[in-house]
Every structure is written in C-alpha cells, then in structure tokens.
Amino acid sequence: MPTTAKGRLACENSQIIITELHAPSTERSVSHWTLPVSVESLLYDQRPLSEILNSVRPTTFGGQRPHCLWFHVPENNLIWVEDLFLKLEFPHPGWNGITGCSDESPLKRGIPAHARVDENFTSAFVPFLSYEKNTKQYSRQNYVQRTQRHDVSNQATLKVFDQSNSRSSKNSSVDRNGPEPEPVRNVNLDWMAPNSMLDSDGLDEEEKCVIDTYLNNPPALHIRKTLDQYFYHMLESTSERDQDQVVSRWARRVRKQMTHNILMVDQLWIWQCMMPGRNGLSAIVTAFPGRTGVGSSTERTYDDLRARVLARSGSRKYPIQGPHHLVGRILATCFGLFDDLQGQDMLRFMAMFEDSIGTIDNRESELFKKFEKDSTSLQHLSKKSYSFDDHRRTLLEQLLDIQQETKLLIEIKDIRDEIKICLSIVDIQKQVFAQMSDPNKGGKFEYLDTHVRSLLESTQYAFNRINVQAEAVQDKLNTLMDLKQKASNAWEARSAREVAVEAGKQGNTMLVFTIVTIIFLPLSFMSSFFALSIASFPKDQASGQTNWPLGLVSGYLFGISLLISIPLIVIAMNVQIFASLLRNLTHNHLVSIAICLIKFVPTFGSSNIQGYLHKCNVRLHKRRHVYFQETSWSTGIECKLPSPLELRAKMDTKFSTSANVLDFDEKAATVSAPEATESRTRNRARQEEACVKEEV
C-alpha cells in the first residue's frame, strides 16, 4: 500500500471491476454480475478474496457455481497486477526478465508482444488500437512531462513506498453489514468517474494521483501512447506529429472541430489461470486503460471496452459459455476498433482515412488540369502582345510552382505512415493470436479462430486496400511533380536557346562594329599622319602647307590601311582557328624544338646539369602530352600518345646512350663485358627510380 497521500487517494478512488460469470439457464437470462471494488479494499484488505466476494455477491446468484471470474484492472499498472496475483494466490504474472517493463522513460516503457500458453496458465501481451479525446491526451502528456521533471529534481527525497512493503489494513469499501447489492445487469459509465472533479487540464484528480504515484518511483505505470509515440518511441517528443494525425486534419477540415478523437495505442494484458482450491474455477485477469471520446457521457456508449465485452448485441448476442469464450470476446472487442464503431460518426476512423485520401486525389486532379491549362496558354501566348513578357513570367511561375503538390505529397506520406503503423499492430495481433490458438503449441483457443482471425483479416484487408489507394495517389503526385520538373527543364533549355540566339545576334553586331573599327582606325591614323607638317612631305608653294596630290595620297592611304585591315579582319573572322594555331605552336612545335635542343646541351660530366636537363625534358614531354590529350578531348578524336612513364623510359634510354656514353665507355674499357652490363643496368635502375620519385 502506498504511504503517500496521493498514493492512498489513488488506491481509494481507483476501482478494479469484478465480474462473476455463470452458465445461463436460457439464452435471454442474465448470466453474470458485476461490481467495482476499490483497489484499496480488494488488494490491501486483510480479508481473503472469497470472503470479499461473498459479501458483495447478489442473492440471485447465491449458491450457484460460476464458471469463471473476471478481474479487470483499469490501468496498465505493474504493481496493481502483481498485488492482485498475490491476492489470488497465483504465480507471478510472467514479466520477470522482460526488458522494457520498467524503463525509466514512460514512452519507451512497454512489454513486448507475446503469448504464453501452458496447461493451467495462459497469458498474452498485445497492443491494440483505441482512441482518446485530443485535449485530454494533450493534458495527460503535459502532466506526465511535468511529473517527469519534478521527479528528476526531487528524486533524492521522493519516497512512494515504504521500505518493508507492508500491506495496509484499511477497512473494505464494501459494507459487510449492509444490504446485499442488486445485480449489475447493464454496466454504464457512471462508476468510472463518480463525482470526480476535472481540473483545468481535463484530468480528474484520481488519474493525477495514479500518475504521481506510479509513473517513476517505482516505474510501474504504462501510460497510453499515440500512434507516433508508439512507433517512434526513440524520439524525445512527438507533439507536432500527434497534433497532425489524419483524423485530426479530417476533423478540422470537414467538421471544423478543434476538439476531436485521435488514434491511440493501448496495451492489453490478459491472463487465464486456474484458481487454487476452487475446484477448477478459472480466473481471467485483464489490464488495459479506459478511454474517453468526445461528447457527453450519455453519448459515449462505446468508451467502456469492458462493458462492450459483456454486451449482447450483434455477433455477441449469445451469452458467454466459458473462460475461453470470454477470452475470445475480450480479444475481439479490443481488436475490433475499425469494425465495431462504424455506426458512430466521430469513430468511423477507416472512413476518415478514405475521405482524406479521396480529397488529396481530387486535389491532385485539379492541379493536373491547371497544369495542362497553363501549359496550353503558355504555348499559345502571342509574342505580339504588348504584355507578352509579363504574361509569360506569370504563367511560368504558376506552371512551375510545386508548393501545393509538395504539401499534398507530405500529407499522403503521413497517411501511408499511419496506415503502416496500424498494419504493424494488426500483424502483431495476428502473431500473438496464432500463438494462443495453435494446437501444436498447446493453444486452447483454436475454436475461436474463425471469428477473431476473420476480424483481423478483414481489418488487415481494409488497411491494405486504402494503402494501395494512397500509394496510387502518391504516384500521381510524383508524376505531376516530375512533369513540372521536365517542363521546367524544357523551358530553361528554351530560354537558354533564346538567350544564345540573342547573344549571337549581339555578337554579330559587335563583329560588324569591330570590322568597321578595323577598317577605319588605320584610315584615321594614316589620314592624321599624312596631315602632319613634315619637311619631306610635299608643300604648297604659296601657303607652305602640306599638299599631297590626290592620287598619291589615296594610294598611300588606302594601300597601307588595307594592308593592315585585311589581315586583322581575317583574324577576327577566324579567331578560334588562329588561337588554336597559336596554342599548337607554343605547346607542340616550340616544345618539340626545345626537346631537340636539349639533346645538344653539353653536360660537362656534371650530374647536376644532367639532372636539371633530365627534369626539363620530363616537363616538356608532359606539357606536350597534356596538350595532345586536351586536343583529342576537344575534337573527339582519340589521340594515343605514350604516357609520361613511357616517355621517361625512352628519354632515359637516350640519355644512357648519349649523355653518359663516355662514362659507360670508360667503365667498359676497365671492366669485363658482363660487369659493364651489370653496372649499366644498375645505373639505369637508379635513374628510373629517381625519375619516379621526382614524378611523385
């Protein structure tokens, strides 16, 4: 029993629901009774369980032997479940050694989905889809974060449980001497929050006390998670993702509602055990949290999962026949979120997914038609219009704008992401149920396979179907964006071509002005030159001014000007050719001449001069080799030239036979022929090694 005031308040106001099921006498007869008992009275009262049950059992069921007892814990609380198992004298619940049960982070806390089937003990831990009002989930998340920060700062002084783990001996909340209660035939939601007061956060005080007591010290409480909190548990926060669920966007867009339901992922913990000393009486223990949807309490008839298990409607019109049948009902009720709630408008989650996909598909069709219309308008835009440039710029901006497509693509990816999360949960449910119903592994629920498995198959089929639709819409959006990208590339190429044409026209204009300048610049210079007062120029006898005869000055003026202008005009008209010739001259012919001249430079027997000439020769060969490679790349003609190493080898051979021939001849004169050959080989190897090092 917790020792803190909040812990005691949590146990006093939280209730474990006890349901005793009997074999029905007729199909319409009542076959069970239900009563909520406080956690404090049931778990921490010193009386045995049988005495507690006898004190609250209705008189109409007195003397009858039940076929099973169902204990429902309204929270995924490890401490409460363990204490309940101690009260029932059962073995341990079965999570010892499982990692993640008591993780420090509430979002990472969870029991891996699995099932255990033994002869007298069956357990299963499986996630299932549920819902919650978005404002309440947001308030719970904020309160959990505040509690986390507070516990971290006060961890040294916080103590929730006493050191001895002693059990409290509080009196039971059930009046032993009072009149026996009437059987609870139709369980409603009134007991879930009797006279509970909601604060500004939207959470009742009982839930706050449970969070404060069991969230961290010890880490026993497994809180409810949104889709993204469940799947992206490694993220520190998923607030933005949680506020942008598919159902949230649908509610804001279609219903204009800011308060709505969102999808949640809850944990179902279920055990079936044989009660010791009760002559084969089975007990079923479940633990999963309650849920609160939008609307008033009278409208939220689908919130109470436990009551829906016992409700006799639709496929559940027949009474529960035994413990295995009850387990199947519980599984079918928890797994049937997208099957049982189609009658409630705000709980038709599958329809919300389909409507969201259809809206995006329709929007994509509108954008595609607009793209086609803008493309046609742009193609038929008249260049004679005075506002051609403005209209063209506007149409191009509209045509190439992909903001709407990007927004829709993000939305359809979010839809597919949530569908994949739901499919992963359904796959886990199928795996766990397969473990429970496999007769080869001792499964006892094989006869329930038809209903539960068909429910899972239909849910999986529905999600796969809308996933295919979403994938098709995503492909359409990708195609539209690809078309816009291709159109953008085409218009950019067209604009580049137009710019090139304009540049060519401007280049031709500049060429005309260049030619005119080339022609008239020499004429202007020569005219100014012949107008100078130079003594040797012809003079007018009367005025003494320079006076050229027309024929003579015209011959000089136009002859010299044309002699200068014509070559320059030829060069201007063929500037690329002359530039190529100049490059060929400087990088090929002059280099070849320099290579030939190096051979005739005397070395005077100096190794320094020889090494310097060797280095110059290598550089010249490299320069020539690079020039021929660039020439072959620019012309597209393959030019096969020796590599620098081959050139160096040839050059070394020439040097070894020319520049060093005297040295080799002197050695050959003093040593024998084999020794001279060996010496020459070593010398050449040293030269090659030096060349390689120099190259590196």
Distances from the Cα of 497 to the Cα of 383, 391, 487, 488, 493, angstroms: 16, 20, 15, 14, 6
State residue 149's pLDDT score.
80
Q: SS3 string of 173-184?
A: CCCCCCCCCCCC
With bands split at pLDDT 50, 70 and 90, how would you rate the model's confidence at 655?
A: very low
Across 12-25, average pLDDT: 86
Percentage of the chain lying above the pLDDT 90 cut = 24
Distance CA 582, CA 585 (A): 5
Burial class (CB in 10 A: 0-12, 13-18, 19+), 337: buried
The residues, ordered by sequence, that sit 6+ positions from 584 with a Cβ below 8 Å of its Cβ are 627
Q: What is the largest CA-CA distance in the chain?
A: 160
Compute the mean pLDDT over every residue in the chain, rounded to the nearest whole number: 78
- For residue 177, is pLDDT > 80? no
Across 131-138, average pLDDT: 91
Question: DSSP 3-state helix, strand, coil percentages of the chain (rounded to 5)?
Answer: 60, 10, 30
- For residue 191, is pLDDT > 70? no
The residues, ordered by sequence, that sit 6+ positions from 513 with a Cβ below 8 Å of its Cβ are none
Q: Hey, how many other C-beta atoms are within 10 angstroms of the C-beta on 168?
A: 15
Across 650-669, average pLDDT: 46
Cα dihedral 310, 313, 314, 319, rounded to 10, equals 50
Distance CA 107, CA 267 (A): 13
Distance CA 9, CA 535 (A): 128
- For residue 287, is pLDDT > 90? yes
CB–CB of 265/128 below 8 Å?
yes
Burial class (CB in 10 A: 0-12, 13-18, 19+), 412: buried
State residue 158's pLDDT score.
38
- Pairwise pLDDT comparison (533 vs 342), residue with the higher score: 533
With bands split at pLDDT 50, 70 and 90, how would you rate the model's confidence at 231?
A: very high
Lowest mean pLDDT among 198-202, 357-361, 597-601: 198-202
The residues, ordered by sequence, that sit 6+ positions from 467 with a Cβ below 8 Å of its Cβ are 416, 419, 420, 423
| Structure-token match 């007062």, residue found | 533
- For residue 666, is pLDDT > 50? no
CB–CB of 310/187 below 8 Å?
yes
With bands split at pLDDT 50, 70 and 90, how would you rate the model's confidence at 695?
A: very low
CA angle 83, 89, 93 (to 5 degrees): 55
Across 11-36, average pLDDT: 81
DSSP secondary structure letters along 299-316: T-TTS-HHHHHH---GGG
Sign of the Cα pseudo-torsion (504, 506, 508, 514, in order): negative
Q: pLDDT, tens digit, for every residue of 593-624?
A: 888 888 888 877 777 888 888 888 888 888 88
- For residue 173, is pLDDT > 50? no
Lowest mean pLDDT among 262-271, 460-469, 511-520, 687-696: 687-696
Distances from the Cα of 464 to the Cα of 71, 118, 340, 625, angstroms: 36, 34, 19, 64
| Structure-token match 């195609």, residue found | 479
State residue 93's pLDDT score.
72
- For residue 678, is pLDDT > 70? no
- For residue 369, is pLDDT > 50? yes
With bands split at pLDDT 50, 70 and 90, how would you rate the model's confidence at 184?
A: very low
Strand 68-73, strand 282-287: pairing: parallel
CB-side exposure of 4: number of CA atoms within 13 Å? 16
Scored b (16 or more CB within 10 A) or e, 462-491 reads bbeebbebbeebbebbeebbeebeebeeeb
The secondary element (H helix, E strand) that includes residue 268 is: strand 261-274
State residue 637's pLDDT score.
47
- Pairwise pLDDT comparison (648 vs 235), residue with the higher score: 235
Short-list 668, 695, 694, CA closest to 679: 668
- For residue 127, is pLDDT > 60? yes
Q: Hey, how many other C-beta atoms are within 10 angstroms of the C-beta on 152?
A: 11
State residue 611's pLDDT score.
84
Q: pLDDT, tens digit, for every residue of 36-68?
A: 999 999 999 888 888 888 887 877 776 677 888
- Pairwise pLDDT comparison (99 vs 641), residue with the higher score: 99
State residue 297's pLDDT score.
64
* Highest mean pLDDT out of 2-16, 91-105, 408-422, 428-442: 408-422
- Pairwise pLDDT comparison (542 vs 67), residue with the higher score: 67
Q: pLDDT, tens digit, for every residue of 479-519?
A: 999 988 888 888 778 878 888 888 888 888 888 888 888 88
- For residue 254, is pLDDT > 60? yes
| Structure-token match 């009196």, residue found | 171
